[in-house]
Amino acid sequence: MKVLIVYAHPNPQSFNQFMLQSLLTGLQEAGHEVRVKDLYAEGFDPVLHAQELETLQTGAVPERIQQEQDALLWADSLIFQYPLWWFDRPAILKGWFDVVFTNQVAFSFNDQGVQGLLPHKKALVMITAGGSEGYFQDTGAMPLIHRPVTDGTLGFCGIVDVQHRIYFDVPNLNEQQRQAILDEITAIGRSF
């Protein structure tokens, strides 16, 4: 498969970066063709500017948006990896969706309602959280972690098979626990 990983973490020494490398190892062992879109490293501008919105509304597509959409549509499967920030994706990733998942490419409206247009076979959303699993369970906040992305964005745009993995309490993990997660992620990549 052709897999696009959209990755959003600013620190190249972060646990998320180790997770990304483990995922790549597994995906490559399985023979997938993989591209990584590292939003911070690329200096992605997450603002959908007034001029761009105006251009999109005429039916034309600004050059930088076209390039992002070419990368999106090159892939037949998508993986998103990011830390949970304020119960959601980091703003740079939210902005990537604002800019790239445009009307007539990712979805359309007509008098029948909304139609998802993305052709991807499947998507995987990998999230790390600072909070413990118990905290999210006790507060009823568990679905808030992934639903804005899994349902609100990817499902809305027509991707039927959307899975997610959440890793809790990440800042408090010991070395052994971190390694167990990295091994699990390599296996996820291998069986993707």
Ligand X SMILES: Cc1cc2nc3c(=O)[nH]c(=O)nc-3n(C[C@H](O)[C@H](O)[C@H](O)COP(=O)(O)O)c2cc1C
Q: Compare residues 89 and 120 and give the one whose CB is closer to ligand X.
A: 89
Query: What residues from 23 to 82 belong to the interface with ligand X (CB under 6 A)?
Result: none
Beta strands 77-83; 33-38: pairing state: unpaired
Q: Is 116 in the site for ligand X (CB under 6 A)?
A: no
- What span, in angstroms and rounded, lies between the C-alpha atoms of 184 and 32? 18
Contact 80, 149 (CB under 8 A): yes
Tokens of 169: 């309490």
Q: Is 170 in the site for ligand X (CB under 6 A)?
A: yes
Q: Is 149 in the site for ligand X (CB under 6 A)?
A: no
Stretch that binds ligand X, among 25-33, 43-51, 105-113, 129-137 (CB under 6 A): 129-137
Residues whose CB falls within 8 Å of the CB of residue 51, separated by 6 or more in sequence, listed in order: 62
Q: Looking at beta carbons, which residue is closest to ligand X?
A: 130
Q: Is 83 in the site for ligand X (CB under 6 A)?
A: yes
Contact 169, 131 (CB under 8 A): yes
> Applying CB under 6 A, what is the total number of residues that bind ligand X?
15
| HSE of 104, CA atoms in CB hemisphere, 13 A | 7
Closest distance of CB 20 from ligand X, Å: 10
Q: Is 130 in the site for ligand X (CB under 6 A)?
A: yes
